[in-house]
Amino acid sequence: MMTFIARRCRNLILFGIAAAFFFVLYQISVSSLQPTPYYSGWTLLVMMVFLALLNVRKKFSFLPMLGKASKWLQLHLYVGVLTIFIFAMHLQFRMPNGTFETLFALVYIGVVLTGLLGLYMSRAFPKRLTSHGETIFYERISVLRRQICEESEKLVFDSIAETNSTTLPEFYTKRLLPYLKGPRNVLMHLLGSKLPYRRLLNDMDVVERYLNNIEKEVFSDLKEYIESKENLDHQHALQSGLKYWLFVHIPLTYSLLIFLVVHVVVVYAF
Amino acid sequence: MAKRLQDFSFDKSQYERVPQKWICGWTPEGHPCHLGPDSKGCCRATYECKPWKNENRWECSRHKSHGGKCEEGPRPDGECCRVLTNCQPIRSVRASRGRVALYTCYVTLAVLLFMLSSTDVFTYLEPGNLTGPHSAIEGKLGGSSSCAQCHSAAEKTPAQWLQMAISNHSGIGLKESQLCLNCHKQDGQQSFALNVHGLHSDQLTLSTDRISKKLASGEITSSPEMVNLVASMAPIPGVPSKNGEVSCATCHREHRGRNFNLTQLSNHQCQTCHTVQFGSFSKGHPQFENFPYKRHTKIKFDHLTHINGYFKSMPAEMSPNMCSDCHQLDANNKLMEVKHFEQTCNNCHGPSLKQGISVLRFPGVNLSALKKYSKNLGIDLDTGEHSKFWVDSEEQEDTGELTAFMKFLLQGEVNMEHEHIQTWFEDGIAEAVESEEEEHVQHAVDFVNQIKTLYATISDDEGHKGLKKLIQNALETKEDIPNATMASLIGRFPVGLVRHSLKGLLGEEEAMSEDGSLSSYGGWYQEGYGIHYQPTGHADDFLRNWMDVTGQYAGKNTAAKDLFNYLISSGKATSCSKCHSVDAMPDGSMKVNWKSLPSKKGSFSKFSHAPHLNLLNEEGCKHCHKFKDMTKFNKGKFEEAFAGTDPLVFESNFEFVEKETCAECHVADRAGDNCTLCHNYHVTNFAPALSVVLLNEPPAEEKPSKVDNNSEATDKRKADEEAKRKADKEAKKKADKEAKRKADEEAKRKADEEAKRKADENAAKANSADQKYVDYVVSVLSDLQGGFNELANPVTTVQDAMERYKSSKAKLETICQTVSSSTLNEVLELSKPRPSSRQDVIDRAKAIGQAIEKFQAKPDADLSALKSLMDGGSNETSQTGGENQKRVDYVVSVLSDLQSGFNELANPVTTVQAAMERYKNSKTKLEAICGAVSHPVLNNVLEQAKPRPRSRQDVIDRAEAIGKAIEEFKAGHGDSDLSPLDSLIK
């Protein structure tokens, strides 16, 4: 069993060899007046179809002969990055300036950029998800958010009878309830910033000085809910990121395939 | 410490069905129902549980994960007491993603459909801009028409594109390349245009075999670079075959921007098909072979003999000292051509070019003997009235030989094989007097009759038709020789002279031109019994044309060959071949090289002298073109080379240029060593490609002419003729233009005179009844103009100017209401809107000035209605009249000038200098007036005008004083005698 590092090194070396191989082929092809764009174009087409097949593979997970999805994903990543080189060679290292060709290239660039973003997120986010409190099912987040909100609300308003003070309920209503009602600070969570959370805690610390002992006990429980909500938002933001980048990547891929077909027809016709 | 939120115990943890397409619409609110929507997205909410009956009691069945049994429990009828609120189910994340993908596909298809169905489909599909030259097609035609010039698919529908895309594509590139050739026609050989290097495959095979042999023998070596080596080791389909055709797009890739260099090729690309490959020019490129002296030069010139011999014996001022004395850059700044004959060789070789040649003559025949024999034999010898011109060989010694021209022309007259006709000529001459045998006499009679017929044909009444037919017959060509070519042959033939001679006038004028002295500038003359032609000098058209045409037919027509050989024969003083080399062409024709420049047709290499001339060192041209040592130079071989007609046999005066000489500079990091720098891929040239597309004309049918093919000289001459025709046309055009210009000038002059006359009439008219009205209007307009002028200047009297402007505009409005004049109305319109800028004010003043002139020249209204206005106004002029009035006006104008000068001086305007001039002039005039007449008011003004103003206020005060003086003068001038001013006014 190869270690992760060894496997990564092996893959990178193979990738480098493949890239160098294609580049040499390109140079030879250009130098020998071959119709290089045809060769690079067909290579790209095959690669793109292969990349698109990952989605199909996922749908046919019950077929063992197709190989592991993880292997497919690995190949998807390396072949995807390799297409960047082939694409540059296909365009002869220049940007197209025709309308159709430019749109086609932009769609490809969109697919590549979202793919690279997805690659980053799928590598970085799981670590952050597991290292930041309780890991939550994405589908349960809204239920748990509501649960936190209801429980905390009950806690605060039930305490009024005991404390005869409205300080805590007022603070809860004005400052905490909006925070607890829905997902908050998605972008900050994606960027890994805790600034909004610290600001909230700071506000809570300010209020805490004006609470009596009973209220402080309730406030202590309330802090736990806030912490849970912070984790819930964190889980929501990161898991949303992991899910929603595909909302751009996959549709653009289909668009790319449609462009590709038209491109091939036009190129062969003309 | 955060609270743990999830409980994974079996009875509390809910199973999440992620792949489901629909989820409960309450999920975002955090309280989804446990039932969830169905697969079609319909809400299934009813009750929180479905109670079950435990014996006779209904019990709640709510799951623990949803709170367990409720406190209320089921209703008595067994229904759950907790009703679920209906929702609008929403798509799951996965399903939403699929939906977005679907919509994206729709959008993509819509965009593509829009593009493909648009009238601008080709604008959208164009993969990039065309290069600059080709963009002209785009600009001219646009849309599918422009694309169809190069792509056959552009004329088809998108559905047909699909069909084309899946059909067989072999050879499609070559088919499309044919479209390129519609515009880019290769000179002469269109069928080879797509061949490798544009050559016939046999030529290429020969060349390849030659190189291969050298490679095999080790004479040259091949050292390909890695890229070429790999390409040759693993050939991929698509490499152009050595003898096959190559599509244009193999090397010329379009749609890469306006400034893309379509002809740019790397050295590796050039070498990909080559047998010998190498790294760079300096390393590996084969040595030059006999470069650049592979073939004999067009002009036969022995540099060594001339420089070391003839030039040394010449006076220093006549002999050339430098290469540039005889050579110059050609029009393309590429090749060094020999300067014109007049500038170079004429001094020594010019005089020898005017020796006449015999064209027609009556051969000597023993006429008396022939008459006698023919009479005895009953053969009809009709010497007729021309008999006296025949040379009787008994009286004058004459060999009776025919001229070369006559022999050629008789070929067209006598229907006989060439060999036989030559024998017949000789026999006819010889036998005419030698024998009484009937056959011999008949020969001689026929001979004489043929000569007669020839003369008669040349001088027939139908112009040159007979001669034309003779030439066609002699050349044995049924083709219609182009008129230009035929005209060059026979156009200058002395038909009149021949006819003259036939009419018996020859003998009478014989003495006039016995030695051709009357033709010292060249031309036709008679000498003895013959008609001779003396060349006009160098490049005589008549002889040159005959040489060109007979040279073309020399390969297939003996008569033409004989005449060509006669015309170029060495030793004749008039022989052009003394200096012009003759090339035997592959088809047997002969070509005289008239121009010094080598033909670049069919050349793989190119060289431009111009950029190299600035780099010459003290050696000059000799740095590359080194003279051979006299001991090494084989003069005999040199002469022999030019005596023959094989262009590849040559002994040069110069050493061959070595590759190393070029490689001194031509390396990658200096002058460059790209293959295309010195080599042409397309060996034969392409004609300029502007015609077909841009003119919207179908490609002209190429109709190769046998006469014109392979005849550079004829082509050149035709080009010259075309140029001459154009020059004539241009000259005619110029002359026409000049004539038209003169006619226009004349017409203009007349029109001006007429206009002046009318203006005078108008002026006279104006001087009569309408003058006072005109003056009134002019004065109003002048005021208006003056107002604008002052407004234009940064003066302190703006307010005055505005007042003046307003009052004059009011007056003008009144006038316009009273009379109807388009000119005045225009001025009124012009004066109405508020000026937007100083320039606007100036422009308006200018326009009003023009209107004043126009109005003065021709008042376009009946102004009598203005009388009432003028009566009410300050109309001094109407109250005074006659000669005295003119004098008053003159004085008033001088005073007004003076006042205006002061006024302008008072203002900080930029026209101070002009104001000063005006002030000085008017002061001088006033002094003169005061000298002529004695008037106290004027004297006072003069006194006021003399001292230099002390301040601006002083100037203003004086202007006011002068204004008052003007009024005073106007009122009180009646007592004074102003008649002495007449001389001043004049």
Please answer whether residues B282 and B666 qualify as being in contact, where contact means their C-beta atoms are separated by less than 8 angstroms.
yes
Q: Which residue has the higher pLDDT, B319 or B887?
A: B319
CA distance B250 to chain A (A): 6
For the segment B12-70, what is each residue's pLDDT rounded down to a tens digit?
787 888 888 999 999 998 888 888 899 899 999 989 899 998 888 899 998 887 888 89
B153 touches chain A (CB under 8 A): yes
Q: What is the ipTM metric for this complex?
A: 0.93
**Rounded distance between C-alpha atoms, residue B141 and residue B696, angstroms:** 9
Residues A4-24 as b/e (b if ≥16 CB within 10 A, e otherwise) read: eeeeeeeeeeebeeebeebee
Given a cut of 90, is residue A204 above it in pLDDT?
yes
| Range among B162-176, B540-554, B914-928 rated most confident | B540-554
User: What is the pLDDT averaged over residues A218-228?
Assistant: 93
- Interface touch A139/B16, C-beta < 8 Å: yes
Question: From residue A161, how far is each of A164, A208, A214, B417 by CA, in Å?
Answer: 6, 19, 11, 144
CB pairs under 8 A between A and B: 172
For the segment B397-410, what is each residue's pLDDT rounded down to a tens digit?
556 677 888 888 88
* Contacting residues for A172 by C-beta, under 8 A, at least 6 apart: A152, A153, A156, A222
Residue in A35, A94, A227 closest to B238 by CB: A35
CA distance B162 to chain A (A): 6
- Interface touch A98/B3, C-beta < 8 Å: no
**Rounded distance between C-alpha atoms, residue A266 and residue A103, angstroms:** 15
Helix (H) or strand (E) holding B59: strand B57-59
Given a cut of 50, is residue B81 above it in pLDDT?
yes
| Range among B166-175, B230-239, B273-282 rated most confident | B273-282
Strand-pairing partners, residue B83, are B47
- Interface touch B6/A231, C-beta < 8 Å: no
Q: Which residue has the higher pLDDT, B88 or B6?
A: B88
B928 touches chain A (CB under 8 A): no
Please answer whether residues A180 and A145 qualify as being in contact, where contact means their C-beta atoms are separated by less than 8 angstroms.
yes
Length of chain A: 270
Given a cut of 80, is residue B299 above it in pLDDT?
yes
Give the range among A128-142, B149-163, B926-940 with minimum mean pLDDT: B926-940
- What's the sign of the alpha-carbon dihedral A70, A73, A74, A75? positive
Closest chain B CA to residue A24: B227
- Interface touch B28/A94, C-beta < 8 Å: no
Residue in A39, A142, A228 closest to B5 by CB: A228
Question: From residue A105, how far is each of A57, A260, B149, B257, B651 by CA, in Å?
Answer: 26, 10, 27, 17, 63
- Interface touch A143/B32, C-beta < 8 Å: yes
**Can you give the pLDDT at residue B774?**
54
- Interface touch B269/A33, C-beta < 8 Å: yes
B151 touches chain A (CB under 8 A): yes
- Interface touch B29/A146, C-beta < 8 Å: yes
**Can you give the pLDDT at residue B761?**
66
Amino acid, res. B217: S
* Contacting residues for B882 by C-beta, under 8 A, at least 6 apart: none
Token readout for B556 is: 């297939």
Q: List the one residue out of B946, B931, B844, B941 whose CA is nearest residue B895.
A: B941
Question: DSSP string of A18-38?
Answer: HHHHHHHHHHHHHHTT--HHH
Amino acid, res. B568: I
**Can you give the pLDDT at residue A115?**
95
∠ Cα B670 B673 B675 (to 5°): 160
| Range among A229-243, B246-260, B343-357, B615-629 rated most confident | A229-243
CA distance B165 to chain A (A): 5
Across all residues in chain B, what is the average pLDDT? 75
3-state class (DSSP) for residue A180: helix
H helix intervals, B795-881: 798-818, 822-831, 838-857, 867-872, 876-879
Closest chain B CA to residue A30: B269
| Contact residues on chain B for A244, CB-CB shorter than 8 A | 93
**Can you give the pLDDT at residue A58?**
84
Fill in the DSSP letter of residue B576.
Answer: G
- Interface touch B5/A147, C-beta < 8 Å: yes
∠ Cα B262 B265 B268 (to 5°): 160
- Rounded to the nearest 10°, the torsion over CA B446, B450, B452, B458 is 170
For the segment B673-687, what is each residue's pLDDT rounded down to a tens digit?
899 888 888 887 777
CA distance A240 to chain B (A): 10
- Interface touch B108/A259, C-beta < 8 Å: yes
User: What is the pLDDT averaged over residues B303-332?
Assistant: 85
Please answer whether residues A165 and A215 qualify as being in contact, where contact means their C-beta atoms are separated by less than 8 angstroms.
yes
Which of B1, B3, B131, B167 is most worth mutating to test chain A (most A CB atoms within 10 A of its CB)? B3
**Rounded distance between C-alpha atoms, residue B672 and residue B677, angstroms:** 8
Residue in B100, B103, B239 closest to A32 by CB: B239
**Rounded distance between C-alpha atoms, residue B252 and residue B261, angstroms:** 9
Q: Give the model's confidence band at B869: pLDDT under 50 very low, under 70 low, under 90 confident, else very high.
A: low
- Interface touch B124/A99, C-beta < 8 Å: yes
3-state class (DSSP) for residue B723: helix
Q: Is the peptide bond before B292 cis (omega within 30 degrees of 0)?
A: yes
- Interface touch B165/A243, C-beta < 8 Å: no
Confidence (pTM): 0.62
**Rounded distance between C-alpha atoms, residue B775 and residue A159, angstroms:** 108
CA distance A187 to chain B (A): 19
Token readout for A168 is: 């805590």
Strand-pairing partners, residue B686, are B186
HEC readout, B191-243: HHCCEHHHCCHHHHHHHHHHHHHHHHHCCCCCCCCHHHHHHHHCCCCCCCCCC
| Contact residues on chain A for B93, CB-CB shorter than 8 A | 138, 243-244
Extended strands (E) in B905-965: none
Q: Which residue has the higher pLDDT, B447 or B8?
A: B8
Q: List the one residue out of B915, B908, B900, B914 whose CA is nearest residue B958.
A: B900
| Contact residues on chain B for A269, CB-CB shorter than 8 A | 153, 156, 160-162, 164-165
* Contacting residues for B444 by C-beta, under 8 A, at least 6 apart: B365, B370, B428, B429, B431, B432, B433
3-state class (DSSP) for residue A63: coil
Residue in B27, B104, B269 closest to A255 by CB: B104
Q: Give the model's confidence band at A104: pLDDT under 50 very low, under 70 low, under 90 confident, else very high.
A: very high
**Rounded distance between C-alpha atoms, residue A241 and residue A128, angstroms:** 12
Question: DSSP string of B359-412?
Answer: EEE--EE-HHHHHHHHHHHT-----GGGGGGSEETTTS----PPPHHHHHHHHH
Token readout for B629 is: 């040592």
CA distance A5 to chain B (A): 33
Residue in B93, B161, B269 closest to A243 by CB: B93
B331 touches chain A (CB under 8 A): no
Within 10 A of A26 (CB to CB), how many other CB atoms are there?
Answer: 22
B274 touches chain A (CB under 8 A): no
Q: List the one residue out of B475, B864, B545 whose CA is nearest residue B714.
A: B545
Q: Give the model's confidence band at B188: pLDDT under 50 very low, under 70 low, under 90 confident, else very high.
A: low
**Can you give the pLDDT at residue B868?**
64
B290 touches chain A (CB under 8 A): no
Which of B87, B108, B226, B269 is most worth mutating to test chain A (most A CB atoms within 10 A of its CB)? B108
Amino acid, res. A159: S
| Contact residues on chain A for B91, CB-CB shorter than 8 A | none
User: What is the pLDDT averaged over residues A151-163?
Assistant: 91
For the segment B109-138, what is each residue's pLDDT rounded down to a tens digit?
999 999 988 888 888 888 888 888 888 777
* Contacting residues for A126 by C-beta, under 8 A, at least 6 apart: A242
For the segment B467-496, what is each residue's pLDDT rounded down to a tens digit?
888 888 888 776 667 777 788 788 777 777
**Can you give the pLDDT at residue A87?**
95
CA distance A53 to chain B (A): 15
Which of A24, A26, A32, A229 is most worth mutating to test chain B (most B CB atoms within 10 A of its CB)? A32
- Interface touch B127/A100, C-beta < 8 Å: yes
